[in-house]
């Protein structure tokens, strides 16, 4: 399949470039700057990302342009544009002020890259250095008030550079420019779609897996569900799914999700292991220790069930692309480690199968729809592996979990009724069971726990902001929780952003 290679020089927006290319129904892969593939038959174009470095820094990332120069169309973005200008004989100089924010194109020269883009178009700048002269045989394509060479091209080679960030949302002309490059210049057939992904992946899985049996851990979340349905389409009942109930899921979630899985035709073993989890968590108050115990127990329960599946060769997981992208930070280390892998049953020697490994979250949802996964499963908010355990301060008991489940269910129902659920990235209630406050109900004094409500917007959970739920909705939620949930006499709304807070309380 045709693909665009994005070489990453450590910019924070590299993933965003990849998303934009995918939005053009074109497959793309993000690779570290020095890992251009040896076999590039399917590569139709190369994009060089920005970087926290200046081309003059001795430790800045260098690249052998000869690997693709002249053979594949290249678009350099910010540092990528400066690097090509610098290496090919132009001049890049340090400027005193770092230019950041919106800028307006003043001159636009007609070209394949600037088709449909005019003077007055808004772009987004974020750079310290600037290109002050172009290599011989290059020409200027666009300027802004403060940047002369805001866009350029080579006359002799299929090579373009832009100083601004077309991938940023505030670059209004960005989508057009990227379309011009990906579709116009590189000739993408725009064949990357949910339907093409499904048919291609199903046939790949069939040839990869043959007659082998596969085990998959279901969590109720969208990624593992879509992975399961895709695998089921490929190998039918040779896929065995295991869904472990650790007792800290949402109200009725285990039964509801099991019913959904059965109606999708999946072969699922549901394991109620809650007793063991509650016993092992008894008296444990430290958040990290709670997580460790749940993680350990989960792996042991899962492995014990998996061992019962005879002749299994593969362990499938719902790992998605952002979990795997090796984004570089300035020290060359990965920013985020992959937390899906771990707990592979060692003695079972299972091979790993990750059918969603190329997809972004929104693409997983599109594929899920294509496969007929019901909307209420596709649109579900993310939910942490340790479940409500990270939403109960202090030790965990069945009683506390039950109190929180009821409060959480009321909150989520009101969000749905108010049409807010789909506008929110993630929401839930938190039981502040280490805090007690005085209240009055009827003629009686109460001394009970508060519940905090949390609802955030986010795109990747790395940063988040609280969602401005209207007061009327908050009032209804608070009223119903205090009236119906025994043990709770106060409701607060968490209005912190991440950072400095986190989404979960523990």
Binding footprint of ligand XMP on the chain (CB under 6 A): 291, 382, 384-386, 390, 426, 461, 498, 502-504
CB of 390 vs ligand XMP, minimal distance in Å: 6
Is 167 annotated in the active site? yes
Nearer to ligand XMP, 228 or 427 (CB): 427
From CA 170, how far away is CA 147, in angstroms rounded?
A: 17
In the set 165, 232, 246, 414, the catalytic residue is 165
Q: Is 184 helix (H, G, I), strand (E, B) or coil?
A: helix
Query: Residues 355-358: contacts with CB within 8 Å, 24+ apart?
Result: 355/201, 355/205, 355/227, 355/230, 355/231, 355/316, 356/223, 356/226, 356/227, 356/230, 356/318, 356/319, 356/320, 356/321, 357/319, 357/320, 357/321, 357/324, 358/27, 358/29, 358/321
CB of 451 vs ligand XMP, minimal distance in Å: 17
- 90 neighbors 131 (Cβ within 8 angstroms): yes
Quick count: other Cβ atoms within 10 Å of Cβ 182? 26
From CA 488, how far away is CA 173, in angstroms rounded?
A: 52
Nearer to ligand XMP, 110 or 459 (CB): 459
From CA 132, how far away is CA 123, in angstroms rounded?
A: 19
Q: Which residue is nearest to ligand XMP (CB)?
A: 385
CB neighbour class for 343 (10 Å; exposed up to 12, middle 13-18, buried from 19): middle
Nearer to ligand XMP, 442 or 499 (CB): 499
Nearer to ligand XMP, 92 or 364 (CB): 364
Find the helix packing angle between 194-209 and 222-235, rounded to 10°: 60
From CA 280, how far away is CA 293, in angstroms rounded?
A: 7
Handedness of CA 24, 27, 31, 36 (dihedral sign): negative
CB of 38 vs ligand XMP, minimal distance in Å: 36
Q: Using alpha carbons only, how large is the chain's radius of gyration in Å?
A: 26
Looking up tokens 């210049």 gives 185
CB of 503 vs ligand XMP, minimal distance in Å: 3
Q: How far is CA 35 from CA 8, 9, 67, 414, in A?
A: 9, 11, 10, 49
Nearer to ligand XMP, 60 or 426 (CB): 426
Nearer to ligand XMP, 170 or 336 (CB): 336
From CA 152, how far away is CA 163, in angstroms rounded?
A: 9
In the set 28, 78, 241, 353, the catalytic residue is 78
Question: Which strand (E) or helix (H) includes residue 292?
Answer: helix 287-307
Nearer to ligand XMP, 288 or 472 (CB): 288
The first and second tokens of residue 135, run together, are 């290599």
In the set 28, 29, 86, 167, the catalytic residue is 167
Nearer to ligand XMP, 213 or 291 (CB): 291
Give the rounded distance of the alpha carbon of 226 from its chain centre. 15
From CA 42, how far away is CA 250, in angstroms rounded?
A: 45
CB of 9 vs ligand XMP, minimal distance in Å: 27
CB of 484 vs ligand XMP, minimal distance in Å: 25
CB of 80 vs ligand XMP, minimal distance in Å: 31
From CA 395, how far away is CA 289, in angstroms rounded?
A: 11
Is 28 annotated in the active site? no
Is 165 annotated in the active site? yes
CB of 504 vs ligand XMP, minimal distance in Å: 3
Task: Give catalytic residue positions.
Answer: 78, 165, 167
């Amino acid at each position: 399949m045709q693909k665009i290679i994005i070489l990453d020089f450590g910019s924070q927006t590299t993933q965003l470039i990849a998303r934009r290319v995918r939005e053009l129904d074109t497959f793309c892969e993000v690779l570290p700057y020095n890992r251009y593939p040896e076999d590039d038959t399917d590569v139709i174009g190369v994009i060089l990302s920005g970087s926290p470095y200046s081309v003059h820094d001795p430790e800045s990332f260098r690249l052998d342009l000869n690997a693709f120069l002249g053979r594949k169309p290249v678009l350099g973005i910010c540092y990528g544009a400066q690097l090509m200008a610098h290496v090919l004989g132009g001049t890049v100089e340090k400027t005193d002020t770092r230019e950041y924010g919106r800028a307006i194109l003043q001159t636009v020269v007609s070209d394949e890259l600037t088709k449909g883009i005019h003077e007055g178009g808004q772009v987004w700048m974020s750079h310290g250095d600037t290109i002050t002269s172009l290599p011989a045989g290059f020409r200027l394509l666009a300027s802004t008030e403060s940047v002369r060479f805001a866009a350029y091209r080579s006359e002799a080679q299929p090579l373009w550079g832009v100083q601004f960030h077309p991938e940023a949302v505030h670059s209004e002309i960005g989508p057009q420019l990227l379309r011009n490059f990906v579709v116009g210049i590189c000739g993408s057939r725009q064949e990357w779609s949910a339907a093409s992904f499904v048919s291609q992946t199903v046939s790949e899985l069939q040839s990869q897996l043959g007659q082998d049996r596969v085990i998959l851990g279901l969590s109720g979340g969208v990624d593992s569900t879509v992975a399961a349905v895709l695998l089921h389409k490929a190998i039918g009942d040779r896929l065995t799914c295991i869904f472990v109930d650790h007792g800290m899921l949402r109200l009725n979630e285990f039964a509801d999700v099991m019913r959904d899985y059965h109606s999708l035709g999946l072969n699922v073993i549901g394991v109620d292991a809650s007793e063991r989890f509650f016993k092992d968590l008894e008296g444990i108050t430290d958040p990290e220790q709670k997580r460790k115990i749940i993680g350990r127990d989960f792996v042991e329960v899962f492995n014990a069930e998996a061992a019962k599946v005879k002749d299994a060769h593969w362990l499938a997981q719902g790992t998605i692309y952002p979990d795997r992208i090796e984004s570089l930070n300035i020290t060359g280390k990965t920013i985020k480690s992959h937390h899906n892998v771990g707990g592979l049953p060692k003695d079972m020697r299972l091979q790993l199968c990750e059918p969603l490994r190329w997809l972004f979250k929104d693409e997983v949802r599109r594929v899920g729809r294509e496969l007929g996964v019901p909307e209420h499963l596709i649109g579900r908010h993310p939910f942490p592996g340790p479940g409500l355990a990270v939403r109960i301060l202090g030790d965990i008991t069945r009683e506390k979990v039950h109190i929180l489940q009821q409060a959480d269910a009321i909150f989520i129902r009101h969000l749905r009724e108010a049409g807010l659920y789909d506008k929110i990235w993630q929401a839930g209630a938190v039981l502040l069971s280490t805090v007690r406050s005085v209240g009055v109900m009827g003629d009686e004094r109460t001394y009970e726990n508060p519940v905090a409500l949390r609802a955030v917007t986010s795109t990747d959970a790395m940063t988040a902001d609280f969602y401005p739920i209207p007061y009327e909705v908050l009032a209804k939620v608070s009223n119903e929780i205090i009236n119906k949930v025994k043990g709770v006499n106060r409701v607060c709304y968490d209005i912190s952003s991440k950072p400095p807070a986190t989404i979960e309380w523990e």
